[in-house]
Structure 1
Amino acid sequence: MEGGPGGDAFGAIPFLIDSGVNRDRDLVVVAQRGTLHSQPNLACPEMDRFNATAVGLPYDAPSTGRGLVRAAKQCRDRLAAEGNDLKAYNTTENAADFAALRKALGIKKWNVYGYSYGTDLGLTYLRRHPQGIRSLAIDSVVPPQIVSLPWAWDSAQEGINAVFAACEAQPACKSRYPHLSRTLTQQVRRLEANPLRLTVPPPGGGTPVKVVLDGGTLVNLLVSNGRLVPAVDVPAALYELADGNPERLARAQAAGATPSIGEFAHGLTHSVACAEWAPGFSKRDVLKAGRRAFPGWPDSVLAHAPQLPFEHDLCRVWNVPDRTAVQRVATRSNVPALIISGTFDAKTGASWGPYTGRTLPRSTAVLIPGIGHWVVPQNPCAASVLLSFLARPTAPDTGCVPGVEPEPFTIVP
């Protein structure tokens, strides 16, 4: 079960194969409803094109929000005009697809693996359609009863603080990069007051791109969990920024200028987020959660949930009904479960794994030190635990976990 919501599940096949999950069993990979390779595909090229230009805009400026909402409305209007019923794209219906597929394939029992949003989906599937599920493995956990826009700040705080604590535990990193939390606060405040405007080549080279680095941009680069700035580079990047060298972060921001147009299903993202994550919490609630997580940061940064800026405004034009009454529910089950979390995960904080396990009495929760979002493809130990779980769901071999340590951080002289 792919993450996102809206990601391309088929793109994950190489990672899954490298992890060995199909070594002695069949692997079934499903393109979720609305995603690439499904019909219809709820891609939003309008939003992809806006996001490509947004790397050169202030992250949390009202004008940026208006541009994002305008692009979302253009996509929504087009999808609706094509006859798509966007209220049918939700986690309840998504889970029902998997239940129907198992029956159609004639599979009596299967193991279910999901990461990120795929854990929200997997837990919903287990709650609503437990028949035929031999085991559930969830990686980088999004608890359906908890996930919301304010929740994103809790996860960001947990993941970022874990990176800083790991640096503190490595003598070379502690010596070279002390006071990381204070340095981050200083840089968020400085950039928000005086954004940097630079022209830099993207990480892979090519035509230089105009980018803006403000406080919100810096935070979202850190929350991207290694996709843009690897965790091992974070202390060095912050100190380089403080010393007047923003190049590493600026190049990471420039990566967003060349998105894959039409590959990510923003239509599924916002149909789920606006029906299941945003309702019941106001903009004020998001700001309060941000202040609680990062006191001292500017309100203009804290007013936006990491990775989902201006979502309340976007949801007004996306216009799907509130589904929290049926979706914001804990899963209780005796089906064997494996819960894998990475301590550096700033998208889905590691503590939410064991939290979810409270209502899964036959679950094993594993924390992998030094790994961010989507653990199994990044860590051989996590992959071996998953394989042992598939072989013996009630007694996975977790013996390798105590030996895992975070990689050494990048030290720039």
Structure 2
Amino acid sequence: MRGCRRRASWMTTWSAASGTARGTVERRTGGPDTGSLGLTTRMRLPWGPVVAMCLLSWGAWAEATPTPPVPRFERGACPVEVVPGERIDCGLLVVPENRHKADSRSIRLPVMIFRSRAAKPATDPVLFMPGGPGGSAVQHRTSGKGNPFLDERDYILLEQRGAKFAQPALECPEINALKGEQAAGRLRGPAATAALSKALGRCRETLTSAGVDLDGYTTEATADDIEDLRKLLQLKTWNLFGMSYSTRLMLTVLRRHPTGVRSVLLDSVLPPEVNFDEVAGVNLLRSLHLVFDGCAVDRECGALYPDLPARFAKLVATADRRPLALKLDAAATGGKPVEVRGAQVVEALYSALHDPAAIPLIPRIIGDASEGRFERLTRLVQDNQGPSSFAFGLRYSVWCAEELPFENPARMAAQRAASLGLGGVDEAAASPEECRAWNVTAAPPVENTPVTSNVPTLIFAGEFDPDTPPEWSRRLLSAMPQAYSVEMRGRSHGASFHPCGLGIAMAFLRDPTRAPAVDCALKLRGADFSLSAHPAN
């Protein structure tokens, strides 16, 4: 899924090219300690016997030093610099790159274990993994302060295979830059698709020439990584917490490895059977209509903006005819011009829909911009500028294997149609042309079918989520009889990250066999659209 549009560029700590990590201690199997051979000038041996001794010594060393098993867990330094004094253990999960090939090379995945503050922590920690695919689980995770889960149990992060700090990382810098060009309106439509496809072909060549097996980077493989980590950490059971794309990942764990799962937390659900790219545009449109309707039924907002849908349509159409003259900060744009067309207007509102504090102000943003007052819209557009930070090789490996083979290209194209009224914005995660360039093996049909499970599961959905609508959360209930769905009014993508949601989650983890108390969720007022009618602060 597209994810947040606020992009940033960060230095990669782990080196995919060398296969090592700065500051990480790892066992090496590639060559003996030459000092043990005892070769000195005092021996005065002819070259033949010296060679024989070398071979004998090497054979004895190899026999005495077996190759470390895979999978394995190697304790070592953290992938990011952590706050001193906190109890954070780190290491690398070493697993096969392609689990379907007996001779596959090994890859290394960073693991961070934040230790509980409790005197007697629960024996079942939480494993959290973020959205994407292509986002990093460990980036910026420097401290456990403020994490309520640590009051009762350990909290574990696993970097997904191919993500930023994994070894190797499936990064495509040219794609990241092109995504920035799209955000700035300098690259769009068929030209954007063509440029991305060509760049993907080049990135694929670079990665495969370095020995990367792109078919190894799947949701199924990551689900197996998760199970390997549980066993290597000697955990009888644990609790899985998935956000956005990783909800699909955790559902795959339930399909493949349910025994070790005590409970599951899912936030902003992407079920495997939904065809995301076929409805990406209408999901966004659904959220915008919630805003339009919310304003209409609010006395103050409705009185000030009685024609909000018409204003929105006019704003997008105006920007498509002539790019809006926004005064953007040169530092945010890299000194390059930004063409704010209809797609950029819609992308800006898409970003606002992810921020619960900004959602009630969307009517004012649209109303002001429709009358030539662009201050609030400018800030949103500005925040969207710059290259993406995703590991796009991972993103395309997963999406082109597991989503595109089951999707209808005509329905996908309809999501970009001008008739949808969204300025031709493309909310799809990948296009058929891009996936042809990436050229990975299609996943088996099971990856596009619902998951059935009796594991206790708590599901959060945000009312205004433009990516994963609440209906997708509710649809899980028919196949998961021990699941509970909680819709958070006024919230969006990442609905549980709120005091009420976290409180419900904590209570659920204490006893997943009981229906959670959701009183605080029922009391949420939701978006107060009267704020759009108040004078700007």
Q: Provide TM-score, normalisation by structure 2.
A: 0.69
Q: Which of structure 1's runs of 4+ aligned residues deviate more than 4 A?
A: 12-17, 204-209
CA contact (8 A) 1:183 1:242 kept: yes
Residues 279-298 of structure 1 mapped to structure 2, 5 A cutoff: 279-288=405-414, 297=421
Select the residue among 382, 386, 408 that pairs with 2:505: 386
Q: In the alignment, what sits opposite 2:228?
A: 100
Residues 233 and 201 of structure 1: is their aligned pair in 2 closer, same or farther, counting only changes over 3 Å? farther
In the alignment, does 2:475 pair up with 1:351? no
Higher-helix-fraction structure: 1
Q: In the alignment, what sits opposite 1:301?
A: 424
Residues 342 and 220 of structure 1: is their aligned pair in 2 closer, same or farther, counting only changes over 3 Å? same
Select the residue among 217, 238, 259 that pairs with 2:366: 238
In the alignment, does 2:177 pair up with 1:49? yes
Q: In the alignment, what sits opposite 1:335?
A: 455
CA contact (8 A) 2:332 2:382 kept: no
Residues 164 and 18 of structure 1: is their aligned pair in 2 closer, same or farther, counting only changes over 3 Å? farther
1:37 partner letter:
F
Q: In the alignment, what sits opposite 1:264?
A: 390
Question: How many residues get paired?
Answer: 403
Select the residue among 147, 171, 182 that pairs with 2:310: 182
Residues 211 and 250 of structure 1: is their aligned pair in 2 closer, same or farther, counting only changes over 3 Å? farther
Task: Using the TM superposition, give the Cα deviation of residue 209 of structure 1 relative to its aligned residue in structure 2, in angstroms.
Answer: 4.9
Q: In the alignment, what sits opposite 1:192?
A: 320
Select the residue among 495, 503, 523 that pairs with 1:403: 523
Higher relative contact order (CA 8 A, sep 6+): 1
Cα offsets for 1:350-375 (capped at 9, x unmatched) = 21111122211011100001111111
CA contact (8 A) 2:356 2:490 kept: no
Q: In the alignment, what sits opposite 2:256?
A: 128
Cα offsets for 1:134-185 (capped at 9, x unmatched) = 0011000101011331132342233222233333343222222333333323
CA contact (8 A) 2:277 2:428 kept: no
SS at the partner of 2:148? Answer: coil
Q: For structure 2, which runs of at least 5 residues remain unmatched after alignment?
A: 1-128
Cα offsets for 1:230-252 (capped at 9, x unmatched) = 32332122112211233433432
Cα offsets for 1:233-285 (capped at 9, x unmatched) = 3212211221123343343223343346xx52111111111111122334311
Sequence identity percentage: 31
1-structure distance, mates of 2:517, 2:251 = 23
Q: In the alignment, what sits opposite 1:218?
A: 345
In the alignment, does 2:300 pair up with 1:172? yes
Residues 76 and 197 of structure 1: is their aligned pair in 2 closer, same or farther, counting only changes over 3 Å? farther
1-structure distance, mates of 2:294, 2:401 = 37
In the alignment, does 2:165 pair up with 1:37? yes
Q: In the alignment, what sits opposite 2:482?
A: 362
Cα offsets for 1:21-47 (capped at 9, x unmatched) = 221101111111111221111122111
2:399 partner letter:
A
CA contact (8 A) 1:196 1:214 kept: yes
CA contact (8 A) 2:332 2:385 kept: no
Q: Which moved more, 1:209-218 or 1:320-329?
A: 209-218
In the alignment, does 2:149 pair up with 1:25? no
CA contact (8 A) 1:342 1:369 kept: yes
Cα offsets for 1:201-249 (capped at 9, x unmatched) = 17x9786552122222223333334369932332122112211233433
Q: In the alignment, what sits opposite 2:280?
A: 152
Q: For structure 1, which runs of at least 5 residues remain unmatched after alignment?
A: none
Q: Provide TM-score, normalisation by structure 1.
A: 0.89
1-structure distance, mates of 2:258, 2:518 = 26
Cα offsets for 1:301-333 (capped at 9, x unmatched) = 17x4x153x622211111112215131010111
SS at the partner of 2:493? Answer: coil
2-structure distance, mates of 1:17, 1:335 = 30
SS at the partner of 2:460? Answer: strand
Residues 197 and 66 of structure 1: is their aligned pair in 2 closer, same or farther, counting only changes over 3 Å? farther
CA contact (8 A) 1:58 1:64 kept: no
Q: Which moved more, 1:211-220 or 1:22-31?
A: 211-220
2:512 partner letter:
P
Select the residue among 431, 435, 456 that pairs with 1:315: 435
